[in-house]
Structure 1
Amino acid sequence: MPSLLHDGERIDQLVASGVQIIQSPDVFSFSLDAVLLANFASIPKRGTIVDFCSGNGAIALFMAPRTTASIIGVELQERLADMGKRSILLNNFENQVSMEQLDIKDVHAKIKSDSVDFITCNPPYFKEQPNSKKNPNPYYAIARHEIHLQLDDVFRSASKLLKMNGKIAMVHRPERLMDILDSMRKHRIAPKRIQFIYPKESKEANTILIEGIKDGKTDGLKILPPLYVYGEDNHYLPQIKEMLHGTK
């Protein structure tokens, strides 16, 4: 559908779901992290789902075929939000998925408190340090560093939006686990499921998936089996292949 594409953009496809996404090398594109989170999340069959830090809408779009819930993507950057809106049209998801260009800190002004069943979030991973080296591309810098959004902002807003027993699932980096757990507890979200992702069996974990429940009991945390991405031959292992291509 060329009319939906702007100069320099392309259409990529997640073969496993048939979902197509408008992307550009000029801005932050979706990665395996988005696919991992969409597969990890305990997506409800109905209700309302909000995707924080939605970027070009990848996670929202990946979830859409698996639920009848209405899905709202929330993205700060205008260009990414616009790409997400056009990808929604590309996939004919406009009756189910929408995109709001909005700061997550202000999201309760647009979405009613205590009204959301589930939230997903692929936030900036790196703490904002005055002297830290950042990508000169502002789209990449904002997506990767806590310039506009910190963990506390995510869980504060999530706690306001979620119904009692509503859930939030996040992808992040293992070195931030204690920060994540501290922030979840501070904002009445009990961690319930954690999974560590490893590039290979011989490597340290480089990604973490975590899911919590608002006002849930503080016991009962489950650590899921580890997930390995590549075999020793540097090819995707069967479970990852299935997420990406729909086949083992």
Structure 2
Amino acid sequence: MKEYLKYPGEHIDDLLCDNLKIIQQDGAYKFAIDSVLLANFIKAGKNDRIIDLGTGSGVIPILLCAKTCAKEIIGIEIDEAACSRAKRSIKMNGLEDRAKIICADLKKAPKIFGSESFTVVSANPPYMTVDEGKISPNQSIAIARHEIAASLRDVVSTASNLLTFGGKFYMVYRTVRLVDAICLMRSFRLEPKLMRFVHPKFSEGPNLFLVMAKKGASSGLKMLPPLVVYNADGSYTDEIIKIYFGSQ
């Protein structure tokens, strides 16, 4: 590992998957389990071209290099500091031949790459509108948590524009906005086909959901068994351990 890849105030975390690592900044937004769950939920073959909208630290493209055999995986991120870390993480892991990070507004992705240029689009969008909660003074955290740089509508409409007919959109989002998400996807010709609720514990209701929507598909939604994160004693469930430590 070359030390010049890590700048002052940064640290390197182990992703616990195929010896992959990621550079993160102290005091900035750090990826959480939702990104890991989304990366594990995504299915892609060797001929697929993937783009991750609002990629942040680049954790999803990095994990997808291990969990799929997709030929090309792109992450687009508006925050320059996060984009720099993501690019260096790609280089640190030796993934330049498959993964690439672009520093740009995700809403401009169709102009950058062209419409209908990807077969798979993924996103872990900001969970809160600008009217919810307190917006962090830290730009990195604010952009990741609140719809400052991109709204849910922006993400869904961009995904639809980028996808080929029959292409798949994968997203993780919070359950309180489930109806908003489904309505938006349908309005942009993205039909939800697969969904899984994520429960913090067996005794608690879901707080997140994973969804796969297909562009131009007919209606018909399949519900997968619930995914539970923690056992009663606070330890990870067997499935979460498998997700963290295994490759698909």
TM-score by length of 2: 0.95
**Mapped partners of 1:35, 1:51: distance in 2:** 13
**Mapped partners of 1:68, 1:16: distance in 2:** 17
**Mapped partners of 2:133, 2:123: distance in 1:** 23
The answer on 1:228 being equivalent to 2:219 is: no
| Cα contact 1:44–1:118 (8 A) shared by 2 | no
* Displacement after TM superposition at 1:68 (Å): 3.5
Q: Which amino acid aligns with 2:87?
A: K
**Mapped partners of 2:18, 2:243: distance in 1:** 9
The answer on 1:187 being equivalent to 2:181 is: no
Q: Output aligned runs, 1:53-202, within 5 Å.
A: 53-65=54-66, 66-129=68-131, 132-202=133-203
* Displaced runs of 4 or more, over 3 A: none
Q: Output aligned runs, 1:204-223, within 5 Å.
A: 204-218=205-219, 220-223=220-223
Q: Which amino acid aligns with 2:98?
A: Q
| Cα contact 2:115–2:162 (8 A) shared by 1 | yes
**Mapped partners of 1:26, 1:80: distance in 2:** 12
| Partner residue in 1 for 2:11 | 10
Segments of 5+ residues of structure 1 without an aligned counterpart are none
* Displacement after TM superposition at 1:245 (Å): 2.5
| Cα contact 1:44–1:117 (8 A) shared by 2 | no
Deviations 1:133-183 (A, max 9, x none): 222222111100111211111111111110000011001100010010011
**Mapped partners of 2:156, 2:246: distance in 1:** 32
CA RMSD of aligned residues (A): 1.3
Deviations 1:57-115 (A, max 9, x none): 00010001221320110001000011000001001110110001111111112112111
**Mapped partners of 1:68, 1:205: distance in 2:** 30
Q: Which amino acid aligns with 2:223?
A: I
| Cα contact 2:197–2:210 (8 A) shared by 1 | yes
Segments of 5+ residues of structure 2 without an aligned counterpart are none
* Displacement after TM superposition at 1:127 (Å): 1.3
2:230 is paired with a residue whose SS is coil
* Higher deviation after alignment, 15-24 or 51-60: 15-24
Q: Which amino acid aligns with 2:226?
A: P
Deviations 1:179-202 (A, max 9, x none): 100110110100011110011011
Deviations 1:4-51 (A, max 9, x none): 000011111111332110011221111111110001112233231000
1:124 is paired with a residue whose SS is coil
| Cα contact 1:189–1:215 (8 A) shared by 2 | yes
**Mapped partners of 1:231, 1:43: distance in 2:** 30
1:10 is paired with a residue whose SS is strand
| Cα contact 2:168–2:214 (8 A) shared by 1 | yes
Q: Count how many residue pairs are aligned between Structure 1 and Structure 2.
A: 245
Same amino acid, percent of matched pairs: 38
1:87 is paired with a residue whose SS is helix
**Mapped partners of 2:246, 2:213: distance in 1:** 27
